[in-house]
């Protein structure tokens, strides 16, 4: 069964402008800047203290560690160590928030467990980007983007087709990264001729402890201008958590193996499936098609919707092929689903389209 992937759409709709990149090269340069300016300090949890500096909080971790400002993420990590509610502290005056945090850290004063403090720079002063346990095994975003650049250089992978705003599915901030790549040699554009399936994959990571390293591979039909991925199938996902030795090497090996295996996999079965759907005629004309569709008794498919799908497919012959075929009719139906505002309605129509495509396998 095919499905709609919304991970890239979520990134596209939520990332600020300075976390969007138009090329892997630009994204890698930014990730490298984060890495080269970083300082990792091994500290004791009970050495952490906070001071108010105007309306801001400054973290102190001992005489040998420079005082540093806190990001939203490192602030939440610090609050967790102090067993204090992050949302509540954010609404307090800086002096009172510092007192509350220091009280919580003092209560944990016997905790001599090791911790890692990741320091960066905002161009003016040190910034605490992360406060993680001593068991944390960092996978640098820059090392991931370097591997993605290699994949782009050797082919067939490239960043996703441009979204409405020109962004290419490449996102990087001080908290995490996300990349959406597609197979350049098999790419089928949203308004391209015919149809079929293309390969794509998502890759994500956080070097500050917000998320594991992960990769998701899939086949898909097309990508909308808001980077919603339609008609995804054969979805496979793998993750590596940031705990243990040599996790970075494991992540690179896994990405290299999975993507290479995926890129070299035979598309014969999928191409045969699409071709069967293209050849399978549901009925000679519209009324015959709708009669056959209604016999399937698909709950979400009303008479009005079924007719609209046929009419739309008829207008899109250059995209989907003949509207009286399984592939053509399902194309019209999924295009209607694409424009529905409610996710549950879209899913119901996607399932209906899948049920219709199963007619070709009967």
Of 356, 339, 341, the residue nearest 300 (C-alpha): 356
Q: Are residues 27 and 160 in the same domain?
A: yes
177 and 246 both lie in a single domain: yes
pLDDT tens digits, 48-89 = 899 998 888 999 988 788 889 999 999 999 998 888 899 899
- Percent of the chain, pLDDT > 90? 31
For 243-261, write each residue's pLDDT tens digit.
Answer: 655 555 666 566 666 666 6
Note the pTM of the prediction, 2 decimals: 0.71
Do 44 and 122 belong to one domain? yes
Beta strands in the chain (DSSP E): 3-5, 20-21, 39-44, 49-53, 56-60, 68-70, 114-121, 126-133, 157-159, 170-172, 177-183, 198-205, 213-220, 222-223, 229-240
202 and 338 assigned to the same domain = no
Q: Do 26 and 175 reside in the same domain of the chain?
A: yes
Domain end marker among 86, 101, 133: 133
8 A C-beta contact, residue 221 and residue 334: yes
Residues 151 and 260 occupy one common structural domain: yes
Higher pLDDT, 48 or 21: 21
Whether residues 86 and 157 fall in one domain: no
Domain's final residue, options 241, 271, 301: 271
Does 144 lie in the same domain as 128? no
26 and 43 housed in the same domain: no
Supply the range of the domain harboring residue 204.
3-33+139-271
pLDDT at 267: 53
Residues 224 and 319 in one domain: no
Number of domains in the chain: 3
Q: Which of 215, 250, 271 is the last residue of a domain?
A: 271
User: Are 10 and 52 contained in the same domain?
Assistant: no
Higher pLDDT pick, 59 / 265 = 59
């Amino acid at each position: 069964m095919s499905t709609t992937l919304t991970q890239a759409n979520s990134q596209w709709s939520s990332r600020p402008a300075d976390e969007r990149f138009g090329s892997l090269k630009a994204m890698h340069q930014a990730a490298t800047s984060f890495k080269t300016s970083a300082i990792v300090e091994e500290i004791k949890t009970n050495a952490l203290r906070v001071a108010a500096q105007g309306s801001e909080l400054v973290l102190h971790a001992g005489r040998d560690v420079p005082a540093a400002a806190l990001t939203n993420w490192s602030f939440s990590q610090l609050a967790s160590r102090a067993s204090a509610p992050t949302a509540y502290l954010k609404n307090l005056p800086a002096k009172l928030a510092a007192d509350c945090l220091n009280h919580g850290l003092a209560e944990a004063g016997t905790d001599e467990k090791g911790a890692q403090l990741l320091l960066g720079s905002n161009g003016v002063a040190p910034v605490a980007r992360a406060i993680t346990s001593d068991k944390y095994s960092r996978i640098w975003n820059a090392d991931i983007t370097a591997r993605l650049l290699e994949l782009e250089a050797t082919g067939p992978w490239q960043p996703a087709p441009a979204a409405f705003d020109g962004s290419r599915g490449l996102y990087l901030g001080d908290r995490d990264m996300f990349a959406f790549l597609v197979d350049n040699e098999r790419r089928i554009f949203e308004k391209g001729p015919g149809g079929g399936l293309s390969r794509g994959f998502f890759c994500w990571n956080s070097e500050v402890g917000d998320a594991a390293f992960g990769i998701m591979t899939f086949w898909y039909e097309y990508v909308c201008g808001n980077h919603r991925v339609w008609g995804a199938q054969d979805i496979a996902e793998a993750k590596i958590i940031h705990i243990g030795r040599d996790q970075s090497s494991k992540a690179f090996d896994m990405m290299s193996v999975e993507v290479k295996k995926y890129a070299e996999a035979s598309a014969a079965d999928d191409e045969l499936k699409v071709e069967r759907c293209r050849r399978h005629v549901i009925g000679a004309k519209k009324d015959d098609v709708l009669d056959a569709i209604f016999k399937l008794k698909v709950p979400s498919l009303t008479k009005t919707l079924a007719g609209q799908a046929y009419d739309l497919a008829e207008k899109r012959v250059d995209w989907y092929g003949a509207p009286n075929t399984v592939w053509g009719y399902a194309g019209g139906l999924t295009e209607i689903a694409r424009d529905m505002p409610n996710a549950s309605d879209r899913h119901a129509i996607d399932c209906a389209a899948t049920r219709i495509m199963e007619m070709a396998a009967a």
